[in-house]
């Protein structure tokens, strides 16, 4: 099965400038393609992962992928999908984010394979050398204003207003494609469907200036079955950086995928074969309560973005918290698994009455309520239910000599950490 058929099976093919011609071109031999990633934060998200993995799928099919980090365009702002102007960041901030985005892309593309190694470039390297007069005379003249106004990314912003800065983004991205075509033989640009206007503008620019036919391809913007945005949670976005979203949080995001979404996400975020995916689809239909597909998705996606060790750690944390075996966790696993629960820091090594600690750490709203919680059996320390009002919390209670995990009720976890 060729790469285009695989993309169609996985629901990753949304728009193509000329599908038949692209298929013929791919039949003739490997193609060089690129996808751009503007550094708008210090990490990419799972939304970006859709097109990162699309580049990887093309590479696995023998093609030559280029990841373009938008160190230049990141200073400008892309109007696509935005209802207002992006805040312009200082060049030092964008430069730091550019380095982080470059490092993250390097985790997913193969730079060592001899036949078709991936490459990463920064568009600041050529955009910063482009003079204003040269830009207006040689590039800008190929962009009729009515042509640009007709593009959805610009047209949707006319009522709210759009600055010349963001209005020019389309021209700069088109110039990226032209530069890559001239200097690296690039013939295909990929992106999310919100980039369609920018991509087709680049295709047209190359045709006008070089008289060559090149291609554009987009993937749909992925949403949940209920229409909500992929990767948005109560805690914020799901990042690829493990300091912003821990591997455990990442794993939990996928394990909680609905039955309506899980097969779609397995197609997009894993490299399982078509036959393996169809088997999982049958599992969802016949025995959804087993959640085999969700566990598979969580394992595959976490291993892909982090590594096998991080995935195993996330599974271990998940089992321990679900089955009440906190004592099985290492210090690192306790911190990772309880990363987002209320944490109370204690300095010193003295003993504390449990009643006092519950009130001090605001686990119970008052000492009176703390006594009631203990008597009613609502408090557990490291999975052990406590009903003794005179219970002392002593150093021997601490996991790894540093932590105790207190649960109030069935699922309200609190972490107490000693600094001695």
pLDDT in tens, the chain (420 residues): 599 999 999 999 999 999 999 999 999 999 999 999 988 888 999 999 999 999 999 999 999 999 999 898 888 876 766 656 667 778 888 889 899 999 999 999 999 999 999 999 999 999 999 888 988 888 988 888 888 888 777 777 777 777 788 888 889 999 999 999 999 999 999 999 989 999 999 999 999 999 999 999 999 988 888 777 787 666 678 999 998 999 999 999 999 999 999 999 999 999 999 999 999 999 999 999 999 999 999 999 999 999 999 999 999 888 887 776 777 788 888 888 887 788 888 887 777 889 999 999 899 999 999 999 999 999 988 888 888 898 888 888 888 788 888 888 877 888 888 886
Report residue 312 as tokens: 């195993």
Q: What is the pLDDT of residue 1?
A: 57
The residues with which 370 forms a beta bridge, in sequence order, are none
Topology at the third CATH level for domain 232-333: Tyrosyl-Transfer RNA Synthetase (1.10.240)
Instruction: Count, in order, helices (H) and strands (E) of the chain.
Output: 19, 15
Residue 247's alpha-carbon distances to 88, 312, 316, 331, in angstroms, are: 31, 10, 12, 15
CA distance 366 to 373: 10
CA distance 79 to 374: 56
Classify 244 as helix, strand or coil. coil
- CATH 3.30.465.10 is right for the domain spanning 3-219: no
Task: Produce one character per residue of 304-319: b if its CB has 16 or more CB atoms within 10 Å, e if not.
Answer: bbbeeebbebbbbbbe
Classify 399 as helix, strand or coil. strand
Going by their DSSP bridges, the two strands 32-37 and 64-69 should be labelled as parallel
Q: What is the pLDDT of residue 218?
A: 97
Q: What is the pLDDT of residue 144?
A: 82
pTM here is: 0.85
Going by their DSSP bridges, the two strands 392-393 and 215-219 should be labelled as unpaired
Q: Where are the domains of the chain?
A: 3-219, 232-333, 343-419
- 343-419: CATH number: 3.10.290.10
Q: Do the domains 232-333 and 343-419 sit in the same CATH topology, yes or no?
A: no
Q: What is the pLDDT of residue 25?
A: 96
């Amino acid at each position: 099965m060729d790469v285009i058929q695989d993309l169609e099976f996985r629901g990753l093919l949304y728009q193509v400038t000329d599908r038949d011609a692209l298929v013929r071109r791919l039949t003739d031999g490997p193609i060089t393609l690129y996808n751009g990633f503007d550094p708008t934060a210090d990490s990419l998200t799972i939304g970006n992962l859709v097109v990162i993995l699309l580049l990887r799928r093309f590479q696995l099919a023998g093609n030559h992928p280029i990841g373009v980090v938008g160190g230049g365009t990141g200073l400008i702002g892309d109007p696509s999908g935005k209802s207002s102007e992006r805040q312009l960041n200082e060049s030092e901030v964008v430069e730091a984010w550019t380095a982080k985005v470059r490092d993250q892309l390097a985790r997913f593309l193969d730079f060592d394979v001899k036949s078709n190694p991936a490459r990463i470039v920064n568009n600041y390297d050529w955009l910063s050398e482009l003079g204003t007069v040269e830009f207006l005379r040689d590039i800008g003249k190929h962009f009729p204003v009515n042509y640009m106004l007709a593009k959805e990314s610009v047209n949707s912003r006319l009522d709210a207003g759009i600055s010349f800065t963001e209005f020019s983004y389309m021209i700069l991205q088109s110039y990226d494609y032209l530069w890559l075509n001239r200097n690296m033989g690039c013939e295909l640009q990929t992106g999310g469907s919100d980039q369609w206007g920018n991509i087709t503008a680049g295709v047209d620019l190359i045709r006008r200036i070089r008289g060559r036919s090149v291609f554009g391809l987009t993937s749909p913007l992925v949403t949940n079955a209920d229409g909500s945005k992929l990767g948005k949670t109560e805690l914020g976005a799901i990042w690829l950086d493990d300091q912003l979203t821990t591997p455990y949080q990442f794993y939990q995001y996928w394990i909680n995928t609905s039955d309506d979404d899980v097969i779609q996400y397995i197609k997009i975020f894993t490299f399982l074969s078509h036959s393996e995916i169809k088997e999982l689809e049958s599992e969802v239909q016949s025995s959804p309560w087993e959640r085999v597909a969700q566990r598979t998705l969580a394992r595959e996606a976490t291993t892909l973005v982090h590594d096998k060790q991080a995935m195993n750690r996330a599974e271990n944390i998940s089992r321990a918290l679900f089955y009440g075996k906190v004592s099985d966790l290492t210090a690192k696993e306790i911190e990772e698994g309880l990363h987002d629960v209320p944490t109370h820091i204690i300095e010193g090594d003295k003993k504390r009455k449990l009643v006092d600690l519950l009130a001090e750490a605001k686990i119970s709203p008052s000492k009176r309520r703390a006594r009631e919680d203990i008597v009613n059996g609502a408090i557990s320390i490291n999975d052990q239910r406590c009903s003794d009002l005179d219970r002392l919390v002593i150093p021997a209670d601490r996991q790894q000599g540093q932590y105790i995990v207190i649960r109030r009720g069935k699922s309200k976890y609190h972490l107490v950490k000693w600094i001695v």
